[in-house]
Amino acid sequence: MEDLRLTSFEDFQDKNIGKIGTPERDAFEKEVDDALQAYRMGEVIKQARKARNLTQEQLGAKVGIQKSQISRLERGHGITFNAMARIFKAMNIPAVLDMGGIGKVALW
């Protein structure tokens, strides 16, 4: 029987994606970060909807989109700034954009 060789996750990434600092690795890490942020935003939408005892269908009707689109957004797919704004506004959730040193801007 052959000896198994274990590889650290870091070595696996270096070999298959690229070493830290390479364009390939930077692009991969950005893609992962973007997907994680979208997933988190989807979870926020879902939690807010459930806290207001709304079904996906009811929220979709308030926003003017199909239930299937609400489902996609809650899973972190296709989230846009416009979609977030419409959903939070429909649920009467205030939103503020923090512009760092410039200040904060109320979105509605």
Residues in the chain: 108
Q: Specify the pTM.
A: 0.77
Q: Distance between CA atoms of 57 and 67, rounded to whole angstroms?
A: 5
CB 62 within 8 A of CB 91: yes
Each residue's pLDDT tens digit in the chain (108 positions)?
677 888 899 999 999 999 999 999 999 999 999 999 999 999 999 999 999 999 999 999 999 999 999 999 999 999 998 899 899 999 999 988 899 999 998 887
Q: Which domain holds residue 46?
A: 9-106
Closest to 91 (Cα-Cα) out of 32, 41, 51: 51
Residue 45 domain flag: yes
Residue 1 domain flag: no
Residue 88 domain flag: yes
Residue 74 domain flag: yes
Instruction: Please tell me the total count of domains within the chain.
Output: 1
Residue 4 domain flag: no
List the CATH number of the domain containing 65.
Answer: 1.10.260.40
Residue 2 domain flag: no
Amino acid code (one letter) for 102: I
